[in-house]
Structure 1
Amino acid sequence: MLIIAGALWWHGQGIKAFALRRVRQYCQEHDLQLLDESLVLKRLWLARGADGLLKVRRRYGFEFTSTGEFRYRGAVVILGYQVDAMDLDSHHLV
């Protein structure tokens, strides 16, 4: 049982690292700065992918800034190893 829990944790860390890479890439493409270089798991649930298979959908929260002055919140939803959604608070543009 402990081995299964460890394997699930390890797999979850891999998906979190994937999500962090995608958020960094998104921020870079949109001239935003990811703050604290971290994601926080907000929600975890099962959903069907485009292929009809049951997968784990994860929602991670993060903070970013557009001007360096204010902090804003964002979220990325990951389904399997794909970005399902990227939601950002309204923010000032540079």
Structure 2
Amino acid sequence: MIEAMIMLVVVGTCAIVWQDVLRARDRAIAASRELCARAGVQLLDQSVSLRRLSLARLRGGGIGLRRQYTFEVSTNGSDRHRGSLHYEGRRLDNFSLPLRADDPSLASLTRLN
């Protein structure tokens, strides 16, 4: 009986972790789409992928996950460049995108929260 309860707790914990991973990836995809649209670059191949995952002390003082996602973009339709998103917990902390040759200013981009 105790083995069944332990197994149920393990399976339930795995399901919760899996759901959190999927929600975080969905947030990263949405943020990368919006940033690419604002910057006038094309997000390629739905290429958002988790590159790094670590525990970190968050700005609020607690401990949470720090995630880094990478993705590929094109500035003119025939090239490929790498962009990245950095999350602390559920908050987008930083991002990087390549500059387009015809629009060197990304001043219109603001952080997404």
TM-score normalised by the chain length of structure 1: 0.90
Unmatched tracts of structure 1, length 5 or more:
none
The residue number in structure 2 matching 1:47 is: 56
Q: Which runs of 4+ in 1 moved over 4 A?
A: none
Match of 1:35?
44
Hey, what does 1:77 align to over in structure 2? 86
1:5 partner SS:
helix
How many angstroms apart in 1 are the aligned matches of 2:89 and 2:21?
Answer: 10
How many aligned residue pairs are there?
93
- Separation (CA, whole Å) in 1 of partners of 2:81 and 2:99: 7
**What TM-score do the two structures reach when normalised by structure 2?**
0.76
**CA deviation vs aligned residue, 1:36-86 (integer Å, no higher than 9, x gap):** 123111110011222111110111111000100101111111111111111
Q: Give the greater-gyration-radius structure (CA).
A: 2
1:58 pairs with 2:84? no
Q: Is the 8 A contact 1:64 1:73 kept in 2?
A: yes
Q: Let me know the Cα RMSD of the aligned residues.
A: 1.3
Give the SS at the match of 1:38: coil
Higher relative contact order (CA 8 A, sep 6+): 1
Report the CA distance between 1:93 and its aligned residue. 2.1
What are the within-5 Å matches in structure 2 for residues 10-29 of structure 1? 10-29=19-38
Identical-residue share of aligned pairs (%): 30
